[in-house]
Amino acid sequence: QQQVKQSPQSLIVQKGGISIINCAYENTAFDYFPWYQQFPGKGPALLIAIRPDVSEKKEGRFTISFNKSAKQFSLHIMDSQPGDSATYFCAATPNDYKLSFGAGTTVTVRA
């Protein structure tokens, strides 16, 4: 079964807008939550990651918000650019290597 549920499946945002992707998990053993960005024909690349001892982490235009009690975390892409058009995967792991991925969100940024 899907251990990490991701939504929406796809979204379209105007250039300069905010993209928001949400993920939820059930396994309380998960303790590391990375986000990956994947362009067509390429493998996933690590974008940003968070541990559950912080509620927010920001790197440039990308921010992860983490709600431990609700077992939810989200990715915010501020000032979205056409170059951000890609598929984004949330993931989680309890044991350092076995990543459980969400189903992915295809983001399209319209110029």
Partner 1 sequence: NAGVMQNPRHLVRRRGQEARLRCSPMKGHSHVYWYRQLPEEGLKFMVYLQKENIIDESGMPKERFSAEFPKEGPSILRIQQVVRGDSAAYFCASSSVLAVRTDTQYFGPGTRLTVL
Binding site for partner 1 (CB under 8 A): 2, 4, 6, 32, 34, 36, 41-46, 49, 51, 89, 91, 93, 96-104
Least CB distance from residue 68 to partner 1, whole Å? Answer: 17
Nearer to partner 1, 4 or 109 (CB): 4
Amino acid at 39: F
- Phi/psi region, residue 60 (left: phi>0; alpha: psi -120 to 50; beta: rest), is left
Nearer to partner 1, 17 or 57 (CB): 57
Beta-carbon-side half-sphere exposure of residue 75 (alpha carbons within 13 Å): 34
33: its two tokens: 């939550």
Least CB distance from residue 11 to partner 1, whole Å? Answer: 16
Least CB distance from residue 47 to partner 1, whole Å? Answer: 10
Phi and psi, residue 40, nearest 5°: -55, 130
